[in-house]
Amino acid sequence: MIEAAQLSFAYDRDARALETMDFRIPAGTLAVVAGANGSGKSTLLSLLAGLETPSSGSLRLGDFLLPGQEAEARRMGRLVVQDADLHILGATLAEDLLLGREGGDQAAARGMAQRFGLLEHWDSPVQTLSYGTRRKLCLAGALLDEPRLLLLDEPFAGLDYPGIREMRGILRDNRGQGLTQVLSTHDLDPVADLADLLLVLERGRLVLCGAPAEVLPGLRGLGVRPPCSWLAGRGLEYPDA
């Protein structure tokens, strides 16, 4: 599904944001990109979304190769950024789900709203929705477009415990449906046990990549704390009950 070869990106000539990365993410994988603030996580997601063009090297997204096929890459994937208010354009939840979608398929939109427990807010003004509900609305809108690749920037940020559990359930359901997912985080606690692949960035470089159990012992000094369960010697677990 995703393959990077010597991938680099610079916003200007004097500052490289990502440096010579090589990695592969198979289709259907839940991949977690971890790193301290400023490590390049959001920049990498922008490249995977086709919003930026590699400065050097290449990035293959399904059948499309970057540089060169950014427009096609944008059609195959959806990026959900951390700030829900940057996504929401409609005045009500229903309007936002239907806005800009050919035919305005109400049945499909209502079905997606039901999946996310949003039907009770169908006609609610978006400014009255809670933070967690607005985040779910953004996800519902992204999945309504039936992407092959879902990109999530800090999906657990600002969520309370019930919200985290709900987000974990969404990630599991998506993986069960074969959707390739890549999410960024600086906090591994809510997601390490779900991840198939863990990529750790430091100052724009990919320093660790592999299954979580292989990567976690090498996190010292990289600005990322291993999950509490791991530090307590219980392996990878999260209290979903």
227: containing domain? 2-87+147-231
Q: State pLDDT tens for residues 12-34.
A: 877 789 999 999 999 999 999 99
Instruction: Say which amino acid occupies 63.
Output: D
In a domain, 116, yes or no: no
In a domain, 215, yes or no: yes
In a domain, 77, yes or no: yes
Token pair listed for 86: 């940057």
Residue indicated by tokens 């440096």: 19
In a domain, 120, yes or no: no
Q: Which pLDDT score, from 0 to 100, does residue 99 have?
A: 87
In a domain, 97, yes or no: no
Rounded CA-CA distance 61/47 in Å is 10
Give the Cα-Cα-Cα angle 192, 32, 24 (nearest 5 degrees): 130
Rounded CA-CA distance 150/148 in Å is 7
In a domain, 167, yes or no: yes
Residue 161's alpha-carbon distances to 10, 151, 156, 221, 240, in angstroms, are: 37, 22, 10, 28, 9
Q: State pLDDT tens for residues 73-113.
A: 999 999 999 888 888 999 999 999 998 776 568 899 999 99
Residue 52 · residue 66 · CB < 8 Å:
no
Instruction: Say which amino acid occupies 38.
Output: G
In a domain, 117, yes or no: no
In a domain, 105, yes or no: no
State the CATH number of the domain containing residue 226.
Answer: 3.40.50.300
Burial label, 184 (beta-carbon count in 10 A; 0-12, 13-18, 19+): buried
Asked whether the bond before 227 is cis by omega within 30 degrees of 0, the reply is: no
E strand or H helix at 114, and its extent? helix 106-115
Per-residue pLDDT of the chain (241 residues; tens, 9 = 90+): 899 999 999 988 777 899 999 999 999 999 999 999 999 999 999 999 999 999 999 999 999 999 999 999 999 999 999 888 888 999 999 999 998 776 568 899 999 999 999 999 999 999 999 999 999 999 999 999 899 999 999 999 989 999 999 999 999 999 999 999 999 999 999 999 999 999 999 999 999 999 999 999 999 999 999 999 999 999 999 987 5
Residue indicated by tokens 């208010």: 85
Tally of domains in the chain: 1
Strand, helix or coil at 4?
strand
